[in-house]
Every structure is written in C-alpha cells, then in structure tokens.
Amino acid sequence: MLQSRLLLTTFEIGHAMYPAAYISAGANIQAAVDLGASAASSADLSKAFPDPKIAEEARQTWCGIVITNRYASLENNSRHTASLGPSIEAAFGNNDSKDIAQMDPFTKLAYSSLLLDQALSHIHERTSQQEFRRVEAMRILHSLTSFLASFEGEDNALKTLSDSSLAIGRSAMLEVLEFGSKVEPQDNEYCVQASLNILMSLTQEIAHGATGVKTGDSAALAALPVFISHCVYKAAMVCLRDAKASKDGNAKLRIQPLKDLLGYIGLRWGAGKYYAEKIEEEDL
C-alpha cells in the first residue's frame, strides 16, 4: 500500500500536479508512521515487520517517502518534513567528497534530500540570532559544495543532468545561494557577494550542461527521473532576473538552452512544461 502511494506521489511530482503532490506526500508520511515503517531503529522496524525482506522494503519505502516529501517542499515552502531516523541521518554527519563518492545511489539520493531539507529549513525558519544563521549557512554551503564536488569529472551532459541526487543537490544550492544573495547587506557584504558569485557560476555550469544534451535518444528520454526539472528551472530564473537587472545580453542567451532542455523534459514529465511556462510568464 505504501509503495503504491509513493508511486502516485512520484507521478504527481513528475507532472507538477500541485498542490496534489505535496498533499499526498504529507499523507504518505502519516500513513508510514501509522504502519510502523518510520521506525528509527532496525529493532523497532522488525517489531512492525517480522519478515526481514519486508522490513527492508519498508525501510526503503520510508526513505522514498521522505525524499519525495522534501522535494515537494520546493513548491509549497513547507518545513514539516520528516526525519529518516537518527541512525540513518547521523551517518550523514561529516562526509567529505571521497566518502560521498562511495555511497550507493539510493543512499546518495537520501543524503541529497537531507541537504535540501537543511537548506530550506535555513531559508524559512526565522531566528533573531544572526551569528548562528551565518554559521549555519556556511555549514550548509560547505556540505553542499563537498557533495557537488563528488560529481566532478562526469562529462556526459545528459547523464550528469539526469542524476537525481545531483539535481536535488543543485536545487538545494541554488535555493540557499539565492536566499543569501538577497539578505540585508549590513555586516553581510562579503556573504552576499560570495553568494552571488557562486550562484552565477552554478547557473552557468547548468546552462553549459544543457547545451551539450543530445535530445534524439528515446531510451534516454524514457529514463529521465522526476527530480531534474527544478534545478534547470531555477537556473533559468536566476539567469532571467540577472539579465533584467544588468541588461546583459549574454545572460539572456544562457536561458534558451535551459528552456530547450525543459521542453525536452516535458516530453516525458509534465513538470518540464510547467516550469517552462513559469519562465515565459516571468519573461513577459
């Protein structure tokens, strides 16, 4: 039952069916908790699911539910995302790029969603302790930088852009950098400028990757994951707003390959078309 609900939520996310996607994502969390799939320890999980095979399926389904819930938070600004459990998330504490590179794909995806959750929590949870927020922002940026660095050396543009964990990591980085570039400059001039510099570098990297995508491979199109649209959209929006603010024609040129890529994604997932239309609305 949980797996069926997870598949439905994934479909809704892939086709940008909001608010249905984040409503069902939240409902999945509650259903998993009620059924015992959210157990933090293996011992507790085995009490709910005595069969080891079913217990492992429940653990992976729970991770998938949390990942989709965190990704859906990009659209509803919700900070009420669930933990994967202390025993799992504690293992993600201080990873350098070498450790991250050794993760299996599913663990890497879960870790990228954890970084996204930390980034969005930093953006939306208000606190008056500015020094704490500055230190927290630097910690999040360090973690994201190490994570994205683990993908360096991958030269296939479509393969790189089609990596779900990389896409979610890029979404997290774009969100936190855009937020950092807009904070009050008083006592934060260096942070604001650094955020702007890294933000523009990352958007250029994504735009450059978009220009190298070959769109004629039907097998590659069918394999596109649901999580890749947002970072492409966010990069395009950053370029568009930069072009409007600076009157820079080159910034405007970088938008087109990103829009083209969203159009290509839209042949598989409606989210591509949804985000392309949002860019057009902003460009009016």
- Ranges of each domain in the chain: 1-83
Q: Does residue 13 surpass a pLDDT of 90?
A: yes
Cβ proximity of 231 and 167 under 8 Å = yes
**pLDDT value at residue 243:** 84
The two structure tokens encoding residue 29: 């969390």
**134 has pLDDT over 70:** yes
pLDDT band at 154 (very low <50, low <70, confident <90, very high): low
Contact 66, 113 (CB under 8 A): yes
- Look at residues 156, 177, 163, 169 and name the one whose alpha carbon lies nearest to residue 97: 169
Q: What's the rounded mean pLDDT across residues 213-217? A: 74
Q: Determine the Cα–Cα distance for residues 133 and 112; give it in Å rounded to an integer.
A: 21
- The two three-digit tokens of residue 31, written as one number: 């259903």
Percent of the chain scoring above 70 in pLDDT:
85
Tell me: the pLDDT tens digits for 237-278? Answer: 999 988 888 777 777 778 999 999 999 999 999 999 999 999
Judge contact between 172 and 112, C-beta under 8 A.
yes
Cβ-contact 14, 164 below 8 angstroms: no
Q: Which two tokens stand for residue 204?
A: 């250029």
Return the structure tokens found at 146: 């190490």
Number of H helices, E strands in the chain: 15, 0
Distance CA 264, CA 214 (A): 10
State the pLDDT at residue 44.
87
pLDDT at 40: 77
Give which of 170, 223, 218 is closest to 198, Cα–Cα: 170
Tokens, residue 126:
């208000």
Instruction: Annotate 137-148 with DSSP letters as a single string.
Output: HHHHHHHHHHHH
Q: What is the model's pLDDT at position 5?
A: 95
SS3 for 91?
A: helix
Q: Model confidence over 185-201: pLDDT tens digits?
A: 666 677 778 888 899 89
**Residue pLDDT, tens place only, 43-93:** 888 989 999 999 999 999 999 999 999 999 998 765 556 666 655 555 555
